[in-house]
A and B are shown apart, each in its own frame.
Chain A
Amino acid sequence: MTKKPTYADVKTKGGKGWFYTDVVKEHFFKPRNLLRTEEEAKKYKADGVGIVGSPACGDMMKMWIKVDPKTERIKECKWQTFGCASAIASTSMLSMMVTEKGGMKLDKALQIKPQDIVKRLVDLPPRKFHCSVLGDKALREAINDYFKKTRKEHRIVKQGAKVIDKQLNVTDKDIEEAVLDGATTFEDVQKKTKIGVHDKSCIPEAEQLIRFYREKYFGPD
């Protein structure tokens, strides 16, 4: 039986379903594994660093990891963010997940999906899902950085975007973003990205990707 989430009393304007669970609240108000202040960040000797996002899009994340070279387990995972409650809470949770029980192996850490983090947070309002994806992206960047520094370039996992709509240059990343923004159908994604308006040949591939990302982030229908 799945536990029914308990929702905290913090709420933002904008209405429906905007409550956070107690676990989110706990991590938001007491985030784990932070690097506080610029000085502390400068002094920190990391084995890998990852930065994603920008303040312009409302979220920015910086992550530092220390790795045990023998076991390839993550010993420490530190971070800083410019972000909302969901971003702060989900990154705090992520940093805990990869360092608990003696640390997570790099290969396993590379597999972490936002969905896994949300599960540990008990729940996030669907609209706030979007804010929880920077953490795992930053982590992958940090791990790739570690691979680069340790001359294991061959293990770097590329996250390059692939152009799907060749006329309008819409990529798989754009589709991913649209799904995270709440699009569920091809029409929704088209509204956000204009995909397939001219280049009709890309529609089947786009539809497949939408299904893929929906399942990735929101689980099977």
Chain B
Amino acid sequence: MINVKSKEIYLDHSATTYLDPRVKKQMDKYFCEEFGNPGSFNTIGLRAKKAIAKARNGIANILGAKPNEIVFTGTGTESVNLAIKGVVRANKDKGKHIITTTIEHHAVLDTCEYLEKYEGFKVTYLEVDKYGSVTPEQVEKAIRKDTVLISVMYANNEIGTIEPIKEIGKIAKKHKVLFHTDACQAGCSQDLNVNNLNVDLMTLNGSKIYGPKGTGMLYIRKGVRIQPIIHGGGQERGLRSGTENVPGIVGLAKALELCQKEKEKENQRLIKLRDKLIKEITSKIPKTFLNGHPTKRLPNNANITILDIEGEAIMLYMNKYGICASSGSACTSKTLDPSHVIMAIGLPYEAAHGSIRFSIGSRTTEKDIDKVIKVLPGIVENLREISPVNLELEDVLEKVIK
């Protein structure tokens, strides 16, 4: 066995990213010097207010929106909660039906479940195909007279599949149903123009785009009826009370600006690395396959199932070599079930425990990828040797194909 203790290789960018130093530089001044409360009528406060206005303008430009259509929140989760609870509660008179998918982040799923359980809303959870995609036709079929909101994620955080947001947006528009997309995983690499995308609401956060954690925003198209979920001092046009996180907002805006500006070049670089990782692993290690869509996927995501062994064990071994990835196995989840996304794409239970997610990012180099390719086959072989399980790849794939 190899015994190396070298530097850590971070391949968990979908969980969170480091701060881009340029973002940090932009934020620095707003901690000790420009610390003002944007709500105060004094020069220090006014300068803070200006900083927020500038951030809001910058983001609005990127999204093709108006500044007063942007609301800053505390996290992606909070934005999702505001979007869903805020909209459906404010539009109760029109109906109480929501459409979403089975592979959303828990921020969406648990919010919908809450509304079903405590506030009498009805929710349709659209099933995905084996690649994790929903179709606009599925959405259209699910629309009812009382549907008030459709919420479909832009890109999935576990398997990286990109959903047809633009087309779903068209359907929503045609039927005059409001459309929210959770774009937390898409912020760095995808087009965020709300008019191209036909979205009425869009969630973004800082933690996945080399911005600060604990920051989020919600785009709310003008005219959308929405209620706050947090009440108090009336900041953010009454939609999100609480003194604004000025450095966070400045950082979020800068992070979005930078990654959107650099996305074409960076996407190309990441796709090359991603595809190398996928190709090498699935060809070098027997009984492995890619999860998620082969092409309609995030440039930074490679989610791979490795049969006969358990994900947490693989992950911890990789961690020993400094490689930090994540797993959809039951043993890394809060419930004792394998990830709901892995189950939703139809993987049978016996295969669902062995999925590993590599999510690469701006600091990832080809050397890092080579390191994974070098150590992973040995780890897998070692764990397979001590495993009494020996599944046939064909049997498993047959079960996946629906």
Q: Which residues of A contact B (CB under 8 A)?
A: 10, 12-15, 28-29, 31, 34-38, 41, 51, 54-62, 80-88, 128, 130-131, 181
Q: Do B320 and A29 touch across chains, with their CB atoms under 8 A apart?
A: yes
> Are B312 and A80 touching (Cβ within 8 A)?
no
Residue numbers in B under 8 Å from A82 (CB-CB): 308-310, 353, 387-389
Q: Which of A14, A41, A54, A130 contacts B333 (CB 8 A)?
A: A14
> Which residues does chain A contribute within 8 Å of B309, judged by CB atoms?
82
Other A-B contacts than A41-B388, A131-B331, 19 sampled, CB-CB below 8 A, are A10-B319, A13-B12, A14-B332, A14-B334, A28-B316, A35-B386, A51-B388, A54-B350, A55-B350, A56-B348, A58-B329, A58-B331, A60-B387, A61-B388, A82-B308, A82-B388, A83-B310, A84-B311, A85-B313
Give the contacting residue for B312; candidates A37, A56, A85, A181; CB below 8 A. Answer: A85
Bound together, the chains give a CA A128 to CA B387 distance in angstroms of: 19
- Nearest A residue to B337, CB-CB: A58
Within 8 A of A (CB), among B273-327: 308-313, 315-317, 319-320, 326-327
B319 partner residues in chain A, CB cutoff 8 A: 10
Interchain CB contact (< 8 A) of B332 among A13, A28, A81: A13
Contacts of B338 in A (CB 8 A): 58
Name, among A14, A128, A181, the residue most crowded by chain B CB atoms within 10 Å (CB to CB).
A14
B residues within 8 Å of A by Cβ? 12, 15, 308-313, 315-317, 319-320, 326-327, 329-334, 336, 338, 348-350, 353, 385-391
Interface contact B388-A80, CB-CB below 8 Å: yes
Q: Contact: B350 with A128, CB < 8 Å?
A: no
Q: Is the CB of A62 within 8 A of B388?
A: yes
A contact residues around B386 at 8 Å (CB): 31, 34-36, 80-81, 88
Are A12 and B388 touching (Cβ within 8 A)?
Answer: no
Q: How far is the CA of A81 from the CA of B320 in the complex (A)?
A: 20
Residue of A nearest to B308 (CB): A82
Measured between C-beta atoms, what is the minimum distance from B242 to chain A in Å? Answer: 24
A87: nearest residue on chain B (CB-CB)?
A: B310
Q: Are A56 and B349 in contact (CB under 8 A)?
A: yes
| A81 lies within 8 A of B387 (CB) | yes
Distance in Å: Cβ of A105 to nearest Cβ of chain B: 27
Contact of B336 among A31, A85, A87, A181 (CB under 8 A): A181
Distance (whole angstroms) from the CB of B110 to the closest CB of chain A:
15
Q: Which residue of A lies closest to B12 (CB)?
A: A13
* Assembled-state Cα–Cα distance A106/B385 (Å): 28
Selected from A58, A80, A181, the residue in CB contact (under 8 A) with B310 is A58
- A contact residues around B348 at 8 Å (CB): 56
Q: Which residues of B contact A51 (CB under 8 A)?
A: 388
B390 touches A38 (CB 8 A): yes
Question: How far, in Å, is A173 (CB) from chain B's closest CB?
Answer: 15
Given A81-B388, A82-B309, residue A57 in contact with residue B349 (CB < 8 A)? yes
**What are 30 residue pairs bridging A and B, where the CB atoms are less than 8 Å apart in the complex?**
A13-B327, A14-B332, A14-B333, A28-B316, A29-B320, A36-B385, A36-B386, A37-B385, A41-B388, A51-B388, A55-B349, A56-B350, A57-B349, A58-B331, A58-B349, A58-B353, A61-B388, A62-B388, A80-B386, A80-B388, A81-B386, A82-B308, A82-B387, A82-B388, A83-B310, A84-B312, A84-B313, A88-B386, A128-B331, A131-B331
Chain A residue nearest in CB terms to B334: A14
* Shortest Cβ gap from A189 to chain B (Å): 15
Which residues of chain A are near B312, meaning CB under 8 Å?
Answer: 12, 84-85
Are B353 and A55 touching (Cβ within 8 A)? yes
- A57–B388 CA distance with the chains assembled, in angstroms: 14
Asked if A55 meets B327 with Cβ closer than 8 Å, knowing A14-B334, A29-B320, A84-B310, the reply is: no
Which residues of chain A have C-beta atoms less than 8 A from B333's C-beta? 14
Chain B residues closer than 8 Å to A88, beta-carbon distance = 313, 386
Which residues of chain A are near B326, meaning CB under 8 Å?
12-13
Distance to closest chain A CB from B391 (angstroms): 7
Chain B's closest residue to A15 (CB) is B334
Contact B313 A13 (CB under 8 A): no
Residues from chain B with a CB closer than 8 A to the CB of A83 are 310, 313
Residues in chain B near residue A34, CB distance under 8 A:
385-386
Contact A84 B331 (CB under 8 A): yes
Residue of B12, B15, B389, B391 with highest tally of chain A CB at under 10 A: B389
Q: Closest Cβ of chain B: how far from A59's Cβ, in Å? A: 8
User: Nearest 6 A-B pairs (CB), nearest first?
Assistant: A84-B331, A56-B349, A55-B350, A84-B312, A62-B388, A80-B388
Residues of B within 8 A of A55 (CB): 308, 349-350, 353, 389, 391
Interchain CA distance A87-B316 in the complex, whole Å: 13
B208 → chain A closest CB, angstroms: 15
Residues of B within 8 A of A56 (CB): 348-350
Whether A10 and B350, one on each chain, are in contact in the complex, defined by CB atoms closer than 8 angstroms, is: no
Contact B331 A12 (CB under 8 A): yes
A60 vs B317: C-alpha distance in the bound complex, in angstroms? Answer: 19
How far, in whole Å, are A60 and B313 apart by their CA atoms in the complex?
Answer: 14
* Chain B, residue nearest A16 (CB): B334
User: Known: A13-B15, A57-B349. Is A80-B331 also a contact (CB below 8 A)?
Assistant: no
Cα separation A31 to B388 with both chains bound (whole Å):
15
- In the assembled complex, the CB of B59 is this many whole angstroms from the nearest CB of chain A, namely 29
- A81 CA / B319 CA spacing, docked (Å): 20
Distance (whole angstroms) from the CB of B399 to the closest CB of chain A:
11
Q: How many Å lie between the Cα of A58 and that of B339 in the bound state? A: 12
